[in-house]
Structures are given as structure tokens and as C-alpha cells.
Amino acid sequence: MKAGSDLRADHRVIRRLEYAIRKMSARIARGEKLPPEDVEEAIGLMMEFVDAYHHAKEEVGLFPVVQGVARGEQKTVYGFLVEHEFGRRAAMRIEQEYVRWAKGEETAESLSRFMLTYADFIRAHTSKEDAWFEAVDGRLLSAEQQREVLGRFSRVEKNPQAKKEFARRVNRLAVRYSGRRGKGDAIGGSHRPTEGLP
């Protein structure tokens, strides 16, 4: 496994989270009162999985190694870092709106809007990075530099089961908001739990 492929695999899970957040945002906008634990789980995954796990792998693992060997990539990396900061702040804003919404304040419109903003950030950011990771794996890093990045990833990951555990949590939320009912888990819809999921 190369570094870019590993991060692209994270992105596939992150885009399932994006799907769930988009669906949740639409339901909140329609005035539905979603189970608070589902909104909390989505916020938890933004912070623990997208930021503290995946962005950390990029910021601590990949970006410094690429910056050390490919000076022409500085601007691209800087752009990604700025976008990470945007995502981090959007997640914090969602949490603030959620706390008010959970207390019964009229914040459905702003909570829904910030969740949609976050989903759009995920879509745009991961698609830009996916294209760049192909260059990372294809021409920017040598085999030895790839090993260096993968070693840094495992130091960020700590628990080797972390990736699977995040995927399980994301999947549960994506199925729940797919509009399909699976074993009593999804909210509304028919009997095909994964149909229509990204």
C-alpha cells in the first residue's frame, strides 16, 4: 500500500460520512428533530476521524515529507492546510449550533447550513487531494520516502484497528440516513440498507 492509496481509502469512508451529513442537514432544514445522539456522532466523527486521524496523517505524515523533497508542491500543500483549518472551524461551529439546537433554541436553519457547508468542504477537498495523491504515488515520492510516510501514519494511527472502527461508525450513520431500513436501524424507507449509498 502506498501513502496516497491509503489516504484515498480514508476519503472513501469520509465521503460516506459526507453523504450522511448532507442527508441529516436536509432533514433538519425540513424541521425534523433528529435523535441528538446521531448529530453528536456525526460531530464526533468530524473531529475524531476526519480531523484528529485523517488530517493528522496528512499534516504530520505526508505533507512534511513531500515539502522536503518537492519544492514545487509548497503552494498546493499550503492550500490543503488552509482548507483543513476551514473544515476544523466549520466542525466547531456545527458543534456550537448543535448545543443551542439541543436546548430547544431556534437554530435549525444555521445548524443545517453549517452541516451543508461541511459536506461541500469534504466533497471539494477530497476530490482535489485524490488527484494530487496520484502524483504523490506516481512520481513525487521514492520507495524509501513512501516507507517514511507510512511509518509516520502508523505513529498517528496508534491503534491498528482505528481505521476499521471509524469505518464501522460511519457506515452505521450512512445506513441510518440512507432512507432505507436495515434490521430496524435506518430511519424510514424500504428494506435495502445499503442501496443508494456512495
Nearest CB to Fe ion, comparing residues 121 and 177? 121
CB of 4 to Fe ion, least distance (A): 10
With contacts defined by CB under 5 A, name the span among 87-95, 105-113, 124-132, 168-176 that binds Fe ion. 124-132
We find the least distance from the C-beta atom of residue 130 to Fe ion, in angstroms, to be: 8
Nearest to 8 by CA among 158, 175, 132, 160: 132
Contact map string, positions 132 to 171, toward Fe ion, x by CB under 5 A: ----------------------------------------
Transcribe the chain into DSSP letters. --HHHHHHHHHHHHHHHHHHHHHHHHHHHTT----HHHHHHHHHHIIIIIIIIIIHIIIIIIHHHHHHH-GGGHHHHHHHHHHHHHHHHHHHHHHHHHHHHHTT-S-HHHHHHHHHHHHHHHHHHHHHHHHHHHHIIIIIS-HHHHHHHHHHHHHHH-STTHHHHHHHHHHHHHHHTTTB-STT-SSSSBS-TTTT--
Least distance to Fe ion, CB of residue 55, Å: 6
Is 123 or 181 the residue whose CB approaches Fe ion more closely? 123
- What residues from 55 to 94 belong to the interface with Fe ion (CB under 5 A)? 58
Shortest gap between Cβ of 25 and Fe ion (angstroms)? 21
Asked whether position 41 contacts Fe ion by CB under 5 A, the answer is: no
Binding window for Fe ion (CB under 5 A); candidates: 27-35, 54-62, 132-140, 152-160: 54-62
| Least CB distance to Fe ion at residue 59 (A) | 8
Q: Give the separation between CA 12 and CA 163, rounded to whole angstroms.
A: 12
- Using CB under 5 A, which of 129, 141, 145, 170 touches Fe ion? 129
Tell me whether residue 129 or residue 137 sits nearer to Fe ion (CB atom): 129
Q: How far is CA 139 from the centre of its chain?
A: 26
Q: How many residues bind Fe ion (CB under 5 A)?
A: 2
Q: Tell the smallest beta-carbon distance from residue 43 to Fe ion (Å).
A: 19
Residues interacting with Fe ion, by CB under 5 A? 58, 129
